[in-house]
Amino acid sequence: MGQTLHTLRTAGTVARLEWQLEWRQGHQLAAVGLFAVASVYVAFQASDQHTGAAAWTAMLWLVHLFSGFTAIGRLFDRERSNVRRYLQWTAAPLGLILGKLFHAVLTTTALTAVVLGAFLLFLGWPQGIETPGKPGLLILGAWLGGLSMTTTLVFVSAVASQVRSGSGALAAVLGLPLLLPQLILSTRLTRGALADEPWTMLLEYPLFLGALGAGTATIACILFPYIWRA
Amino acid sequence: MKGGWNWFWKGGSILLLAYVVIRGFSAPLQPGLVSASPSQLSVAPQSVLLSAVGQPFANPGDLPSAFQVVLRSGDQLIKTEVTEVSPHSVRITLDVPPTMPSRALDAYLFTPAAGTLFLGNACFVESAAKGDVPPAFGATAPSPQEPQLGFSFPYQPNIMESIRNLLWHVPMWFAMFFIMGLGFVASLAQLRTDSVDWDMRAEAAVKTGLVFGLLGLATGSLWARWTWGAWWVSDPQLNGALVTVLLYSGYLILRAAMGDDDRVGRLAAVYNVFAFVMLVVLLMVLPRYTESLHPGKDGNPGFNSYDLDNSLRAVFYPAVIGWGALCYWMYTLRLRMNRCAHHLLSR
Amino acid sequence: MNALLLLNSLEGFFFGSGKAHVVTGVALIILVGIAVSLWRMDRRLGQLEKESRPDQH
C-alpha cells in the first residue's frame, strides 16, 4: 500500500516537474512547435497545392513522426544532472516512467493539434477531396497514431539516455524500425478516413493502434525499473 | 559420453540437411495444368492444346483413349474428345453449341497414373447467345483420382517447382524464432541474476538469429519474385519480418554504442525483451488479423494451404530439425567464443 | 496467361535439362563448406578452452 502511494506520488511529482520544466525552458516547447510548423510549410512549398491523398498522408505522417522524435526523443536527458541524481536516489522507477508517460501523452496531444492545424491551414485537404469522408476518425487516428508512437519513443529514449555518447542519434536509429508498424497502421487509417471507406474495414486500425500503444506502454513500465537501476 | 552426443547431433544436422538438399531437389514435381491455347473459344468445332508442367503425365506409347478431358461451367459439364497425347500436353477437340452463353470454363484432365489435373478458368467462350444458364450437355465425368506416382512433390498453381523453397525458407524462420526465443529467456535470466554469462548467451542468440532472419528474408524475397512477381510487396507478414530484422540490428547497434560500459548487459537485456515481444506481435499476431498474401496467415494459423502431403512431410520435418540443430550449433560456437574472449579479457 | 507460358518454358528448362543436378551439387558443396568451417571452429574453440581453463577439462 505504502509502495503504491509512493509510486503514485512520484508519478505526480515527475509529471509536475516536467510541466514546469516545459514552461521554464520555454525554448524547447517553442523549438518543437517551430519544427512542426516549418516542416509543414516545407511540405506545402514542395507540393504546390496539387497533392493527392497518398502524398498528403505520407507528408502528414513524416512531419508527425519527426516532430515526435524532436519532442520525445530526449525526454530522459532534459533534467540537469543534479536533479537526475536526486531522482535516481529518491524516485520510485515505476512512478517516474508513469509521470514521463503522462507528460509525453500531453505533449503528443498538443503536437497532433499543431501538426494537423498547420496542415489544414497551409495545405488544406488533399486535391479532389472537399471534406474527408470521416473527419472525426481522421483526427482520432492522428491522435492515436501519435500516442502509440510516443509510448514506444519514451521507451527508446529511456534506453538511449543510458548511453553516454550521442544518445539523440541512437534514439533515432533504435526508434525508426520500432515505429514502422504504427506508421503503417496510421497511414492506412488516414487514407481510409480520407477516402470514406466503410467502418467495418477501418475499425480494426484504431483498435490495433490503441492496443499497440497500451502494450508498449505496459512493457516500458515493466522494463523501466531495470534500466533505471543500472 | 558427452563427446559422443555432441558428435551425434552436430553431424546429424549436416547429414539431415544433405538428405534435404538431395531429396528436395531431385524429387520430381507432380504434373499440373498451366495453360490452354487458344484460350478464347468461339461457337464452332475447334481444337485446344492443354499443356502441363512437372513430371510427365503420360508415357510416349499411351493411347489417347486412356485420357479424358471435361470442361466445366458451373454445374454443366462439356465433353471433349482427346485426339493426341504427349508427355506434357493433350490436344482436345470440342464443339461449342450456339446456345452456349459467354462463360469461363474450368478444365479437368483425367489421367490413368497421375490422377486428376485441374486448371481453373482455362478458356473463355465468346458467344452471342443470351441467358444465364448454359444448356445441359448431358456429359458425365469420371470421379477424380489420387495420383499413383512415386516420391514427388505436390503441384500448386503459381508455386510450381518453387515449392522446394518450403524446405529452406520456412525452417530458417523457425530456426530464427527458436534461437530468438532462447535469447529472450537468456535476457530474462540476465535481468533476474545480472550475470555476464546470461548476457553472453543472449548476444550469441541474437547474432545467430539475425543470420537466419536475413537468410529467411532472402529466400522469401526470391519466392515472392517467383509467385507474386516482385522482390518485395507491402504485406503485413513481410513488413513484420523486415521490422524484426531491423529491430535486432538495433540490438547490435545499441551494444556497439555502449562500448565497454559495464551496464551494457542489463540495457541490452531490457532491449532484447522488448524486441522479442515486438517480434511475437509483428510476426505472429498482427499478420493473422489483417489480410495477407502470405500463406498460413489471414486467420489460418498453420500452413495447411500448402497441402503438406506425405512426400513433402518426409523432407520438411528433417529440414526443420536440421536447420534448427545447425542454428543451435552456430549459437554454441558464438557463445563459446564470447566466453573465451571474456575469460581472456578478465584474466 | 502469357506469364504462365513464360514460366512453363523456364520450368522445362530448369528441370528437364538436368539443371537441377547442378543446383543440388552447388548446394551440397556449400553445405559441406559450412560443415567443415563449423567443425574446425568447434575444434579450435575446444583447444582454446582447454588452454584457458585446464582445471575444468
Specify whether the CB–CB gap between B34 and B119 falls below 8 A: yes
Residue of A nearest to B234 (CA): A184
Using an 8 Å CB-CB cutoff, list chain A residues near B277: 215, 219
Nearest to B34 among C4, C27, C28 (CB): C4
Q: Please check whether residue B26 touches C, CB under 8 A.
A: yes
pTM, 2 dp? 0.85
Interface test with C, best of B8, B119, B160 (most C CBs within 10 A): B160
Helix (H) / strand (E) element for B120: namely strand B116-125
Residue of B nearest to A225 (CA): B270
Tell me how far apart the alpha carbons of residues A69 and A36 are, in angstroms, rounded to a whole number: 11
| Domain spans of chain C, in order of start | 18-57
Q: What integer pLDDT is reported at residue C5 of this predicted model?
A: 41
Cα dihedral across residues C50, C55, C56, C57: positive or negative: positive
What residues does B101 pair with on adjacent strands? B129
Tell me how far apart the alpha carbons of residues A22 and A90 are, in angstroms, rounded to a whole number: 22
Tell me how far apart the alpha carbons of residues A53 and A71 are, in angstroms, rounded to a whole number: 27
Specify whether the CB–CB gap between B328 and B205 falls below 8 A: no
* Residue B22 predicted with pLDDT over 80: yes
Q: How many CA atoms lie within 13 A of B321 on its CB side?
A: 16
Q: Among A142, A160, A162, A152, which residue's Cα sits nearest to residue A205?
A: A142
Specify whether the CB–CB gap between A148 and A212 falls below 8 A: yes
The three-state DSSP-derived secondary structure of B177-230 is HHHHHHHHHHHHHHHHHCCHHHHHHHHHHHHHHHHHHHHHHHHHHHHHHHHCCC
Using an 8 Å CB-CB cutoff, list chain B residues near C53: 343
Residues with Cβ within 8 Å of B278's Cβ and at least 6 positions away in sequence, in order, are A178, B243, B244, B247
Q: What integer pLDDT is reported at residue A49 of this predicted model?
A: 67
Nearest to A177 among B246, B258, B267 (CB): B246
Q: What integer pLDDT is reported at residue A12 of this predicted model?
A: 86
Apex B222 CA angle, B218 and B226, nearest 5 = 165
Using an 8 Å CB-CB cutoff, list chain C residues near B347: 52
pLDDT digits (tens, 9 = 90+) for B119-142: 988 999 888 777 766 666 666 677
Burial of A164 (0-12, 13-18, 19+ CB in 10 A): exposed
Q: Please check whether residue A149 touches B, CB under 8 A.
A: no
pLDDT category of residue B152 using cuts at 50, 70 and 90: confident
Helix (H) / strand (E) element for B52: namely strand B45-53
Q: Please check whether residue B34 touches C, CB under 8 A.
A: yes
Q: Please check whether residue A200 touches B, CB under 8 A.
A: no
SS3 call for B48: strand
Average pLDDT of the residues in B7-12: 93
Q: Please check whether residue C42 touches B, CB under 8 A.
A: yes
Q: Among A186, A172, A158, A163, which residue's Cα sits nearest to residue A60?
A: A186
Interface test with A, best of B235, B270, B273, B298 (most A CBs within 10 A): B270
Q: What integer pLDDT is reported at residue A229 of this predicted model?
A: 66
Q: Among B94, B116, B114, B91, which residue's Cα sits nearest to residue B105?
A: B94
Specify whether the CB–CB gap between A159 and B261 falls below 8 A: no
Helix (H) / strand (E) element for B110: namely strand B103-110
Contacting partners of chain A (3+ CB pairs under 8 A)? B
* Residue that wins the pLDDT comparison between B212 and A199: B212
CB contact under 8 A, C24 and B51: no
Count of CB atoms situated within 10 Å of the CB of B224: 18
* Residue B97 predicted with pLDDT over 80: no
Tell me how far apart the alpha carbons of residues B209 and A33 are, in angstroms, rounded to a whole number: 41
What does the block give as the cell for B86? 504427349
Nearest to B267 among A181, A204, A227 (CB): A227
Q: Please check whether residue B15 touches C, CB under 8 A.
A: no
Average pLDDT of the residues in A187-198: 89
What does the block give as the cell for B84? 493426341
Specify whether the CB–CB gap between B260 and B345 falls below 8 A: no
Apex B150 CA angle, B145 and B152, nearest 5 = 90
pLDDT digits (tens, 9 = 90+) for A53-83: 889 999 999 999 999 988 888 788 777 777 7
Q: What integer pLDDT is reported at residue C2 of this predicted model?
A: 37
Q: Please check whether residue A166 touches B, CB under 8 A.
A: yes
What does the block give as the cell for B29? 514435381
pLDDT digits (tens, 9 = 90+) for B60-84: 888 888 898 988 887 778 878 899 9
Q: Please check whether residue C39 touches B, CB under 8 A.
A: yes
Specify whether the CB–CB gap between A167 and A98 falls below 8 A: no
* Helix/strand number for chain B, H first, E second: 7, 9
Contacting partners of chain C (3+ CB pairs under 8 A)? B
Q: Among B188, B194, B345, B332, which residue's Cα sits nearest to residue B263?
A: B194
Tell me how far apart the alpha carbons of residues B213 and B169 are, in angstroms, rounded to a whole number: 10
Tell me how far apart the alpha carbons of residues C21 and B22 are, in angstroms, rounded to a whole number: 9
CB contact under 8 A, B257 and A178: no
CB contact under 8 A, C4 and B28: no
CB contact under 8 A, B286 and A208: yes
Q: What integer pLDDT is reported at residue C50 of this predicted model?
A: 87
Nearest to B258 among A163, A226, A227 (CB): A163
Instruction: Tell me B80's DSSP state.
Output: -
Burial of B42 (0-12, 13-18, 19+ CB in 10 A): exposed
B282–chain C nearest CA distance, Å: 31
- What structural domains and CATH numbers belong to chain B? 32-125 (2.60.40.10), 160-345 (no CATH)
CB contact under 8 A, C39 and B10: yes
Tell me how far apart the alpha carbons of residues B181 and B244 are, in angstroms, rounded to a whole number: 13
Q: Please check whether residue C17 touches B, CB under 8 A.
A: no
CB contact under 8 A, C38 and B39: no
Tell me how far apart the alpha carbons of residues B218 and B207 are, in angstroms, rounded to a whole number: 17
Judge if ipTM > 0.95.
no
Nearest to B282 among A164, A181, A204 (CB): A181
Using an 8 Å CB-CB cutoff, list chain B residues near A227: 266-267, 270
Residues with Cβ within 8 Å of A67's Cβ and at least 6 positions away in sequence, in order, are A32, A35, A36, A39, A111, A114, A115
pLDDT digits (tens, 9 = 90+) for B174-185: 999 999 999 999
Residues with Cβ within 8 Å of B45's Cβ and at least 6 positions away in sequence, in order, are B93, B94, B95
Average pLDDT of the residues in B9-28: 93
Burial of B44 (0-12, 13-18, 19+ CB in 10 A): exposed
* Residue that wins the pLDDT comparison between A77 and B25: B25
SS3 call for B10: helix
Q: Please check whether residue C3 touches B, CB under 8 A.
A: yes
Q: B48-66 b/e with 16+ CB inside 10 Å = b?
A: bebbbbbbbbbeeebeeee
Interface test with B, best of A148, A152, A180 (most B CBs within 10 A): A180
Q: What integer pLDDT is reported at residue B292 of this predicted model?
A: 67
* Residue A200 predicted with pLDDT over 60: yes
